[in-house]
Amino acid sequence: MPPPSASGVRRRVTDYLSPREPIPAGVYVGLGVVGFAGVLLVWSALTYGGFVTALFLPTPHRVLLAGIQQFTQFGFATDILMSTYRVMAGFLAAAVIGVPLGLLMGTFKAVEALIEPLVGFIRYMPASAFIPLFILWVGIGDLEKIAIIFVGSFFQLILMIAVVASSVPKEMLETAYTLGAGRLQVIRRVLLPASLPGILDTLRIIVGWAWTYIIVAELVAAESGIGYMIINAQRMLQTGAIIFGILAIGFLGIVTDYGFKWLHRWLFPWSA
Amino acid sequence: MDAPIKLDIRHVSQHYRSGGHEVTAIDDVSLTIRNKEFATILGPSGCGKTTLLRIVAGLVRPTAGQVHRDGHAITGPGRDRGMVFQSYTLFPWLTVRQNIQFGLQVTGLAKDEQETIAQQFVAKVGLRGFEHAYPKALSGGMKQRVAIARALANNPDVLLLDEPFGALDAQTRALMQELLTQIWEEFHQTILFVTHDVEEAIFLSDRVFVMTARPGRIKAEIDVPLERPRRYEMKSSETFLHLKKRALDLIREEAIKATQYKDGE
């Protein structure tokens, strides 16, 4: 048994099981690695142990090899670029229109009354259901994929941004009024800065959804993109390539997510 | 005390509908506050004292009656009436000094003047060294100091304080009360203060208006003849204890009544 530390209190495993209590940073990161390693371990055991056939689930190194082959022989880098371009175009279009509209909706009851029922109605329509319609309208090019991303993110985005704007404490606006600010100043100097962290958080969540829609969009009538690669691999029974494609999306997603988190810390050091 | 009347609250009533019932929050309140007077509205929770203060601030329009400042009817919020709220209302994206500058900035004062004035008030409330700190780094007491400094930097004619120390611990609270009396000695703004704390009301004020439980009416008016400047030792003086007993008796009756209402404030 190791001696107790200088403070006289030694950490025990049971300390980590107290509800909501923080744990050391090293342990936190370590557990994250263990989570990934655990999945890899089970996967390895199932495949190298010969419990499943390679057609259903290839071994980890076969998936890796299939991935390298995708990059070297089938131009997977272009697929990634195409998908990223479509996601970003649709997402940015939704953000550029949706953020101001959402802010107006969360700020003015009249705008809320005008838009909310309509948006609430449309957002229940699955984005994928629009694919046939958009193909009819704009063909099977990039524009159709971008339109799917737009529809999938725009209507959710408006409502979430409206909630951000409407949850700015009323006392904060009232304080500004008693300090002599007019309506426009209250909007520009209080409502807007107070909403910014919430806006960025919303965009982070929405871009994640945009990534899920791009695959659906690229499964139908596409000639490039990660979704196209996956559906192609399925036709050829290349299970390894399918899995590699899925893992690639997960990787792009987590990179985007951390990018947004870093941006949040950098832009809003004052935010709790 | 022959000072001119600063605030004239005339027959103010406030009704609102709640669950299909008509609730009277304030019932025909009339009172006058003189220039440079420190007046406090003391009442049990739910008596409508905060609503009354918000009406004076111009944030709420009364159902009936009017409030006049220097003979002019109040129609909305304005920089002549600074307000400090109970909840922490600092703008979290602005530093301590930027928060204090806010009112000066919206009125378009030159930037170097804004900074000079803000810096003076940083010092007045004892926050030198924290000018560039964000509110998240401040304690509750420090946050309320910034809120007071922010309201004062605007040089308002009337200062409205809505239980500003309600969320602070007893020791911090006592220190904040002393700070506020010091500030009042220096600036002599007309102050309308709202609290449910009897000791706080007497220690700070020239006059205390005791309000009834809902519907809120003025039940009594207590003059506080304690000398200025106020010092914390006065809290154990005979006059203070006598006034405190009187106010406690009045407020206790109302507090008991207030517990008979189901909904709180």
B93 with A194: Cβ contact below 8 A: yes
pTM of structure: 0.86
B146 within a domain of the structure (yes/no): yes
Rounded to whole angstroms, how far apart are CA atoms A102 and A112? 9
Average pLDDT over residues B26-41: 95
Q: What is the pLDDT of residue B259?
A: 76
Q: pLDDT-based confidence at A136, cuts 50/70/90?
A: very high
**CA–CA distance, A139 with A47 (Å, rounded to integer):** 43
**CATH topology assigned to domain A75-267:** MetI-like fold (1.10.3720)
Spans of all domains in chain A? 75-267
Which residue, among A171, A174, A175, A177, would best test binding to B if mutated, counting the most B CBs under 10 Å from its CB?
A: A175
Instruction: Tokens for A169, please give them.
Output: 């404490």
Task: Enumerate the β-bridge partners of residue B29.
Answer: B12
Q: Which residues of B touch A180 (CB under 8 A)?
A: 78-79, 103, 106-107, 154
Residue B230: give the domain boundaries. 5-258
Query: Which residues of chain A are at the B interface, by a Cβ-Cβ cutoff of 8 Å?
Result: 169, 171-172, 174-182, 185, 189-190, 193-194, 196, 268-272
A177 to B59: CB separation less than 8 angstroms, yes or no: yes
Any A CB within 8 A of B89 CB: yes
3-class DSSP assignment, residue B104: helix
Is residue B135 within 8 angstroms of chain A, CB to CB? Answer: yes
Partner residue opposite A180 with nearest CB, options B59, B106, B135: B106
Q: Please check the confidence at residue A8 and state whether its pLDDT lies above 90.
A: no
Q: What pLDDT is stored for residue B254 in this prediction?
A: 83
The CATH number for B218's domain is 3.40.50.300
Q: Please report whether residue B30 resides in a domain.
A: yes
- Do residue B91 and residue A193 have CB atoms under 8 angstroms apart? yes
Q: A178 forms bridges with which residues in the sheet?
A: none
Q: What is the mean pLDDT of residues A42-61?
A: 94
Size of interface A-B (CB pairs under 8 A): 76
Q: Which ranges in chain A belong to alpha helices (H)?
A: 25-48, 60-73, 76-107, 109-122, 131-138, 142-166, 170-178, 183-186, 192-219, 226-235, 239-267
What's the structural domain count of chain B? 1
Q: Does residue B38 lie within any of the structural domains?
A: yes
- Tokens 């304030």 appear where? B26
In B136-159, which positions are buried (b, 16+ CB within 10 angstroms) versus exposed (e)? eebeebbbbbbbbbbbbbbebbbb
Let me know: does B13 contact B64? Beta carbons within 8 Å: yes
Angle between helices B140-153 and B111-124 (to 10 degrees): 130
Please check whether residue B28 is in contact with residue B21, taking contact to mean a CB–CB distance below 8 angstroms: no
Q: Which residue shows structure tokens 């004292």?
A: B49
**B254 domain residue, yes or no:** yes
Q: Among A145-154, A209-218, B61-70, which stretch is predicted with the lowest mean pLDDT?
A: A209-218
Tell me what pLDDT residue B265 has: 42
ipTM: 0.92
Strand B207-211 to B38-42 pairing: parallel
CB contact under 8 A, B136 and A175: no
On whether the CB atoms of residues B203 and B235 are closer than 8 A, the answer is: yes
Q: Is residue B265, in this structure, part of any structural domain at all?
A: no
Task: Give yes or no for B57 touching A (CB within 8 A).
Answer: yes
Distance from CA of B192 to the nearest CA of A (A): 15
What average pLDDT does the segment B59-86 reach? Answer: 95
Mean pLDDT computed over B24-41 = 95
> Does the distance separating the beta carbons of A271 and B103 come in below 8 Å?
no
B150/A179 CB distance under 8 A:
yes
User: In terms of C-beta density within 10 A (0-12 exposed, 13-18 middle, 19 or more buried), how is residue B73 classed?
Assistant: exposed
What is the rounded CA–CA span in Å between residue A268 and residue B19? 41
Cα distance between residue B138 and residue B133, in whole Å: 8
- A21 CB neighbour count, 10 Å cutoff: 8
Residues A169 and A157: their CA atoms lie apart, in Å, by 21
> B261 pLDDT band (50/70/90 cuts)?
low
Look up tokens 């690639």; give the residue: A248
Query: Quick one: closest CA in A to B103, which residue?
Result: A179
Collect all residues of chain B within an 8 Å Cβ-Cβ radius of residue A194.
91-93
The answer to whether the Cβ–Cβ distance between B134 and A270 falls below 8 Å is yes
Chain A: give the shortest CA distance to residue B103, in Å: 5
